Amino acid sequence: MDPSLLNKLTVLQGDITRIEVDAIVNAANSSLLGGGGVDGAIHRAAGPGLLAECRTLGGCPTGEARITGGYNLLARHVIHTVGPVYRRQAQAESARLLGNCYRNCLALAEQHQVKTIAFPAISCGVYGYPLEEACRVAVRTTCDILQHSRILQKISFVLFSKPDYRLYTNYLDAVK
């Protein structure tokens, strides 16, 4: 991978709702009406305006993305995407759908002039996607998009736990 692209990627450990970027990504369920994990945390932190706006969107299919305001968050926008439930389909199909999550989030980001964006580990919680496989898909896909982007300046992967943070950090160090 091109080292100059990898320099636009960062790994952070912490709470994605407290990251100061143009947009954060919500690993949502298909209703977009809140749930557990990062989805619930984002809805709680953003306040009731986020839920009200999400009600107008009509949900979101797996692999696609929708954008809303950030409300009480530091981020101006929340980009919601629905990752695949691992093992509901073949591994290659899971990887394709997960890659689509990143592609569609970044396409919306560019349409809305988002320069900085933070992603959680999409599908790695209750959806059961193995973190190491998801990390490879996330980095490969974001680097593919960065090659052609004139808008995106920084993509952060925000991991809640120290072991997850280390896995992403070690992977990025290895591909640099």
DSSP assignment string, 50-82: HHHHHHTTT---TT-EEEEE-TTSSSSEEEEE-
pLDDT at 54: 98
* pTM > 0.85: yes or no: yes
C-alpha radius of gyration, the chain, whole number: 15
159 Ramachandran zone, left/alpha/beta (phi>0; psi -120 to 50): beta
Q: Which two tokens stand for residue 21?
A: 């970027």
DSSP assignment letter at 116: E
Q: What is the mean pLDDT of the chain?
A: 96
pLDDT in tens, 147-156: 999 999 999 9
Dihedral pair phi/psi, residue 92, rounded to 5°? -65, -40
pLDDT in tens, 158-168: 999 999 999 99
What confidence score (pLDDT) does residue 2 get? 77
Checking if the pLDDT of 67 tops 80, the result is yes
Compute the average pLDDT of residues 120-140: 97
pLDDT band at 124 (very low <50, low <70, confident <90, very high): very high
* Cα atoms in the 13 Å half-sphere on the side-chain side of 135: 22
Point out which residues pair with 100 in neighbouring strands.
none
CATH topology (fold) of 3-175 = Leucine Aminopeptidase, subunit E; domain 1 (3.40.220)
The region of weakest confidence among 10-14, 35-39, 127-131 is 35-39
**pLDDT digits over 19-36, tens only?**
999 999 999 999 999 999
What pLDDT does residue 6 have?
85
Q: Are strands 9-13 and 23-27 parallel, antiparallel or unpaired?
A: unpaired
E-strand stretches of the chain: 9-13, 23-27, 65-69, 77-81, 116-119, 154-159
Read off the pLDDT of each residue in 86-106 and give the average, rounded to a whole number: 97
